[in-house]
Amino acid sequence: MRKFVLYPILAGTLWLAGLPAAAQTAAYRAPRSFDGHADLSGIYQAMNTANWDLEDHSPQASTMWQTGAINSEPAGQSVVEGGTIPYKPEALEKKKTNFANRRTDDPEAKCYMPGIPRANYMQFPFQIVQTPRGIMFVYEFASANRLVNMGKPEEAGSDTWMGTNNGHWEGDTLVVDVTGLNGLAWFDRAGDFASKNLHVVERYTRTDPYHLNYEATIEDPTVFTRTWKISMPLYRKVEKNAQLLEFKCVEFAEELLYGQYKKQPTTK
């Protein structure tokens, strides 16, 4: 009969799990910002593979075989509540087409704005800055940014990549209601997508000095059979010189975008 050994560290963990929550640690209370609300300021970065694929995925080769293992896709676990995205049948076919054409059709490859929620879990960091006017999100990728209005809610004047963002506080959780998205952004490199009817509600909660818990509830009745949610931790960068660097990627995408329009040499 196979025997299992309970190592001391694991045994101690299980013992702690049996204690009341109050006996393990006191509830964390975030430091206060200028307005008395939780201070979420800082530079954060996701440490997962959600930008490759929100759902469970196995490792696979890059679409650029010349690079070998470089740019190959790592395995990853789903960040979708329930595991899978509830596509309508026709929308699932569109997602498969997107995936087949991802090398040229993914908006990330073209250096377009990443959209919401994708901007928050790309491999690039972003910064949250709280001001009296609102809360600014500044992203390293493509110098994208958005201002979360914390006053009277505003309606979207037009559709944009980063949407119209209205925020409010629920206790120490920042809730951001995002509308007016143009439906052109993808959720990941696997071709997951939504339409211009996309409505995203984000929730940011500081759980300790080094992490935010991020949730995004996603609604688009033209693409999905029901509302669904993703969640993940975001890690605060603590280096002494932590800062956003420039990644203005337009010049990297010029050949992909415009190479086909180059004048061909004339032949005599």
Reported as a single tens digit per residue, the pLDDT across 137-155 is 999 999 999 999 999 999 9
Residue whose token pair is 């491999």: 123
What is the pLDDT averaged over residues 32-46? 96
When pLDDT is averaged across residues 174-181 and rounded to a whole number, the result is: 98
What is the CATH number assigned to the segment(s) 31-57+79-260? 2.40.128.20
Query: What confidence tens digit (pLDDT) does each residue in 203-216 have?
Result: 999 999 999 999 99
Which residue, among 173, 222, 171, has the nearest Cα to 195 in the 3D structure?
222
For the whole model, what pTM was predicted?
Answer: 0.86
- The pLDDT of residue 23 is 46
The predicted-structure confidence for 93-108, as pLDDT tens digits, reads as follows 999 999 999 999 999 9
Higher per-residue pLDDT: 256 or 112: 112
**Residue 88 and residue 202: Cα distance in Å, rounded?**
23
Yes or no: say if 122 and 112 are a contact pair by the CB < 8 Å rule: no
> What's the whole-number average pLDDT of the chain?
89
Mean per-residue pLDDT, 230-255: 92
Q: Collapsing DSSP states into helix, strand and coil, what is residue 136?
A: strand
